[in-house]
Amino acid sequence: MQNKNPYFFLILSIIITVPFWVAFACGDKKSEDKPAAEKPADPGKPGAPEAPAELKVASSLTGAGATFPFPLYSKWADAYGKDTGLKLNYQAIGSGGGVAQIKKKTVDFGASDEPMKPEDLQKEGLFQFPMAIGGVVPVINVEGIADGALKLSPAVLCGIYLGDIKKWDHEELRKLNEGVNLPAKDIAVVYRSDGSGTTWIFTDYLSRVCPAWKDKVGAGKSVQWPVGMGGKGNPGVAAYVKQTAGSIGYVEFAYALQNQLPAAQLANKDGQYVKPSIESFMAAAKHADWENAPGFFMVLNDQPGAETWPIAGATFILMHREQKDEAKVRAMFRFFDWCYRSGAAMAKELHYVPMPENVIELVAKKWASEITANGKPVALK
């Protein structure tokens, strides 16, 4: 069939679809503008005269970020919400996403497993504080070796992940483990394939204790692994380790406990071999020097103390220093304070490690001095 003017159709069709295109093209900008525009429309605020007697507390909060503390935050929010009616919407989109979202102000708080550097905090007008401790545990699957039976030194762990130590009956391993029946099997190295705070803590630890690792690989949420295979997420690593005879991997402590993966002992800074446990993680946090860590920038790797487990990190909450909505800040502080104190037992139930008392007090002090709503400090009670 012939058309009168084929171009006519083309032009017309473009005209018809123009609204879509405008929408597409502007989509990006709009989504960035929105949160700022929506902010003033918070519940209980607009227009109405301030009630002087009672302090306003927001009834809902939004947060986004790290997946590692997600089960803990959910449980806390659930228990706290039952008493107070606070609704917390936490999206476990990953630490990087959490940082990006809080920068864009699309959420009330962000959560990250990797502390932000003090100068970056300054630049973005952000404040961070540790909420709970996460530890990383090497887990193994070697026939005949039970949980806690294998001893690893930092150098040997590093050698395995560098690919220098290839067999389970390597001389170095035998020296550390007299009396343990080590098979003449290949070591299958397993790592996290997705970018994650767990990997960051683990590689940061290796970089601290092993110069060769620092030179060749370095620390990051994902790195160029010299050997091995990558499983996606803690479940992926756990599955690879469980299914592959002769494998070694690293997972979050909570994950190792819940799945009963055989863990190895590790020598700490004091040269003591320790097993991963809630106590050994808390020892790491207790001995860390938080007072002299600007912006709470602190990694709990390779901390001193005879009982200290050497691979650990805190998981952090990020919020803006200058807030507009006082009721929201108050809700956040009350919630997080409750988490620190009343939530500690709950955290242990889920195999998370709560913050020690000395750190909690320091954080509360900083809340009062560093966070402002409309230029004024926020009264809690």
Partner 1 sequence: MTPRRLADLWKAQTSFRKSSAFHRHVDRAFRYLTLACAATTLLLVGAILWNLIEHAWPSITKFGLGFVTSSQWNPVKSQYGAASSIYGTLVSTAIALILALPISLAIALFLTSYAPPWLAKIVGTCVELLAAIPSIIYGMWGLFVFAPYMQKTVQPMLAKLPGPLFDGAPLGVGMLTAGIILALMILPFLTAVMRDVFAMTPPVLMESAAGMGSTSWEVTRKISIPYGLRGLIGATFLGLGRAIGETMAVTFVIGNSHRISTSLFAPGNTIASTLANEFNEADSPLLEAALIELGLILFVITLIIQILAHLWLKNLQKRQAR
Which residue type is seen at 147? D
Kindly identify the residues of this chain, within the stretch 280-319, that bind partner 1 according to CB under 8 A.
none
CB of 14 to partner 1, least distance (A): 6
Interface residue with partner 1, options 117, 174, 232, 321 (CB under 8 A): 232
Residue 365's contacts (CB-CB under 8 Å, 6 or more residues apart) are: none
Tell me which of 62, 74, 91, 193 binds partner 1, using CB under 8 A. Answer: 193
Binding mask 67-96 for partner 1 (x = CB under 8 A): --------------------------xxxx
Burial class (CB in 10 A: 0-12, 13-18, 19+), 22: exposed
Q: Does 12 bind partner 1 (CB under 8 A)?
A: yes
Among the candidate windows 12-20, 71-79, 136-144, 269-277, which touches partner 1 by CB under 8 A? 12-20
* Residue 220 makes contact with partner 1 by CB under 8 A: yes
Which residue of 243, 260, 358, 374 would you call a contact of partner 1, by CB under 8 A? 243
Contacting residue, 69, 97, 138, 356, with partner 1 by CB under 8 A:
97
By CB under 8 A, is residue 228 in contact with partner 1?
Answer: yes
Q: Which is nearer to partner 1, 42 or 164 (CB)?
A: 164
Tell which one of 81, 163, 230, 377 touches partner 1 (CB under 8 A). 230
Which stretch, 126-134, 224-232, 250-258, 349-357, contacts partner 1 (CB under 8 A)? 224-232
Q: Tokens at residue 261, please?
A: 């993966």
Q: Which of 4, 29, 376, 381 binds partner 1 (CB under 8 A)?
A: 4
Smallest separation (angstroms) from partner 1 to the CB of 168: 13
Considering only residues 22 through 51, tell me which ones interact with partner 1, judged by CB under 8 A.
24
Instruction: State the minimum distance, in angstroms, from the CB of residue 86 to partner 1.
Output: 28
The window from 214-222, 286-294, 339-347, 367-375 that contacts partner 1 (CB under 8 A) reads 214-222
Residue of 164, 172, 194, 337 interacting with partner 1 (CB under 8 A): 194
Q: Total residues at the site for partner 1 (CB under 8 A)?
A: 45
- The residue within the footprint of partner 1, chosen from 44, 125, 211, 218 (CB under 8 A), is 218
CB under 8 A: which stretch of 32-40, 43-51, 72-80, 238-246 binds partner 1? 238-246
In the stretch 144-183, what mask flags binding to partner 1 with x, by CB under 8 A?
----------------------------------------
Look up residue 163 and give its amino acid. Answer: G
Q: Is 374 left (phi over 0), alpha (psi -120 to 50) or beta?
A: left
Decide: 338 and 86 in contact? Cβ < 8 Å: no
Instruction: Work out the burial of residue 6: count CB atoms within 10 Å of its CB; fewer than 13 is exposed, 13-18 middle, 19 or more buried.
Output: exposed
Binding site for partner 1 (CB under 8 A): 1-2, 4, 9-10, 12-14, 16-17, 20-21, 24, 93-97, 99-100, 186, 188, 193-196, 217-225, 228-232, 236, 239-240, 243-244
